Amino acid sequence: MGLRSDATRERRWHIIVPMLVSAIGLSVSTMFVHNTSATVLAFTIATAGVIAALPAFWCLPGTFLTGTAAAAGIALIASMANERCHPIRKG
C-alpha cells in the first residue's frame, strides 16, 4: 500500500479503504463471540487493515505541510504513537 500510495501520490483513499476494512473486521469479530477461529480471523483482517494504512498515514504531514510545520506534524504523530505504546504511569 505504501508503494502504491507513493506511486499514485494519492493518500486519502490509501488510508480510508484499509481503515474501513479494519472497521469491518472488528465489527465482524463481535458476531462470532463463541467461535474462536472466526474471531481470530476477523482480528487478523482488522490488524492487516491498520498496518496497510500506516505508510500513507505517516506521509500526510509532508503532503500538506512544509518546513518546520511538516516536522512538527511528524513529531505529533510520533508522540501520539509513543504515548499509546508507553503510557505515563502516575503514582
Residue 60 within a domain? yes
Question: Do the domain assignments include residue 71?
Answer: yes
SS3 at position 76: helix
The confidence score (pLDDT) of residue 56 equals 81
Q: Which domain holds residue 81?
A: 2-85
Provide the domain count of the chain.
1
Let me know: does 52 contact 15? Beta carbons within 8 Å: no
Burial class (CB in 10 A: 0-12, 13-18, 19+), 60: middle
Is residue 91 in some structural domain? no
Q: Report d(CA 55, CA 49) in Å as an integer.
A: 12
Predicted confidence (pLDDT) per residue in 18-46, tens digit: 999 999 999 999 998 899 999 999 999 99
**pTM for the model:** 0.71
- Within-domain flag for 90: no
pLDDT of residue 29: 93
Mean pLDDT calculated for residue range 55-80: 82
